[in-house]
Amino acid sequence: MKGIDRLVRRNIAELTPYSTARDEYEGALGVFLDANESPYPNGWNRYPDPHQKKLKQRISELKGIPVGNIFLGNGSDEAIDLLLRVFCNPGKDNVVAISPSYGMYEVAAQINDIEVRKVPLGEDFALDREALLAATDAQTKLMFICSPNNPTGNAFSNSELLSLAEAFDGILVVDEAYIDFSKVGSLAPRVAEMDNVVVLQTMSKAAGMAGLRLGMAFSNTRIIELMSMIKYPYNLSQATQELALQNLEESYKWKIDETITERTRVAEALRCTAGVLKVWDSEANFLLVKVKDADLVYERLIGGGVIVRNRNKVPGCLGCLRISIGTPKENDILLKLMQEL
Ligand SMILES: *Cc1c(COP(=O)(O)O)cnc(C)c1O
């Protein structure tokens, strides 16, 4: 353990967080005249639990991670923004990220006036450990590694990631948005014992709740405490907390299994399709597909009513489309169109 407090921005380390009415009186029964709420019940007239205790307890059981190692936010995007704001001094510090990868790290950093140093992935989108470490300096506070990576679809091994965390003097943020679709196990069970690793997950993909906005960060208790200290007090609405709990009562494992089966079927079919140059193996719920004329295929698919993500302009993905795996019926429509092109 290297101790992370030296990495925290001084204004955050010295902050007295906002204390809500619900923090100052935690009982559930009584006449509540403390929060200037409307007293007329309509299901939503009271402020939600700022600590999301019930939902955290449920997620703790599902993931096998203690409650004290869990942060919940308005999508993973909130966690990304909060990490930048805990650790990075605007106009001074920088972050390192792999390229190509998820665009939000860069946008969130730019909004916070933090330099982003992008390090290209190597052959077959492998992690270039030496180049990543070489891109860091004393001002590098965070390193973002997405695994399985969006849009390349490959996952990095836990030993690679842990060795990177050990060699890096800042915080390693591993974005596991697609981990449920991967044969590589999550790093989340290891975060409590590491001083500088944060694992991000989301309910937006495998769990099927993109519309609810619920992201998770798993880390040691100090980092979770810092993130919780600076979040909006009521960052998760009552609706999100209740509906997520309700949705989590039903297992979504069959959906993951079907998606993985379909991923193999679609990849194999595409590999036999004229005009398709390459389909990368994927550990996620999408395929990166290189075609002869990406812009043309993209437009033709739209003409047939199928919308995919055109990644043709993204460095490292020239000529590529990113295609999400749909239901078997939806995938049949895609394959039929691709074969007709
Ligand atoms: C989809 C996705 C997310 C999810 O973000 P939310 O804000 O939780 O919906 C996070 N990271 C990556 C790499 C993604 O592709």
Which pLDDT tens digit goes with each residue over 272-307? 999 999 999 999 999 999 999 999 999 999 999 999
Closest CA to ligand 1's atom 13: 102
CB 288 within 8 A of CB 282: yes
**In whole angstroms, what is the distance from residue 192 CA to residue 177 CA?**
19
From 144, 200, 205, mutation site for ligand 1 pocket: most ligand atoms within 8 A of C-beta? 205
Rg of the chain on CA atoms, in Å: 22
Q: Are 103 and 76 in contact (CB under 8 A)?
A: no
Rounded to whole angstroms, how far apart are CA atoms 285 and 150? 10
Q: Which of 99, 104, 309, 311 to mutate to test the pocket of ligand 1 (most atoms within 8 A of CB)?
A: 104
Give me ligand 1 centre to Cα 76, in Å: 6
Lookup result for tokens 């494992």? 253
Establish whether the linkage from the previous residue to 148 is cis, with ω within 30° of 0.
yes
> Tens of pLDDT along 59-71?
999 999 999 999 9
Measured in Å, residue 162 CA sits from the centre of ligand 1 at 22
Question: What's the confidence (pLDDT) of residue 1?
Answer: 44
Nearest CA to ligand 1 atom 11: 177
Give dist(CA 296, CA 288) in Å, integer. 16
202 CA distance to ligand 1 middle (Å)? 6
User: pLDDT tens for residues 192-224?
Assistant: 999 999 999 999 999 999 999 999 999 999 999
Q: Which residues contact 142 (CB under 8 A, 6 or more apart)?
A: 83, 84, 87, 88, 95, 96, 170, 171, 172, 173
Report the phi/psi class of residue 305: left, alpha or beta, with left for phi > 0 and alpha for psi in -120 to 50.
left
Judged by DSSP in three states, 121 sits in: coil
Spatial separation of the C-alpha atoms in residues 32 and 56, rounded to whole Å: 25
Task: Please tell me the distance between residue 127's alpha carbon and the centre of ligand 1 in angstroms.
Answer: 20
Q: Which residues line ligand 1 (CB under 6 A)?
A: 75-77, 102, 146, 150, 175, 177, 202, 204-205, 210, 215
Instruction: Report in angstroms the alpha-carbon separations of 210 from 57, 214, 240.
Output: 21, 8, 11
| Nearest alpha carbon to residue 173 among 76, 242, 44 | 76
**Residue 103 exposure: Cα atoms within 13 Å on the Cβ side:** 3
Q: What residues of the chain score a pLDDT lower than 70?
A: 1-2
Best residue for ligand 1 mutational test, from 150, 152, 180, 202 (most atoms within 8 Å of Cβ): 202
Rounded to whole angstroms, how far apart are CA atoms 90 and 87?
A: 10
Q: Which of 53, 46, 42, 52 is nearest to 30 (CA)?
A: 46
Task: Output the six-digit token pair for 323.
Answer: 């295609």
pLDDT at 2: 55
Closest Cα to atom 15, ligand 1: which residue?
A: 150
Asked whether the beta carbons of 164 and 132 are under 8 A apart, the reply is yes
Other C-beta atoms within 10 Å of 46: how many? 15
Contacts 24+ apart (CB under 8 A), 21-24: 21/47, 22/47, 22/49, 22/50, 23/50
Atom of ligand 1 nearest to the CA of 101: 13
Q: Among residues 269, 268, 266, 280, which one has the least CA distance to residue 319?
A: 280
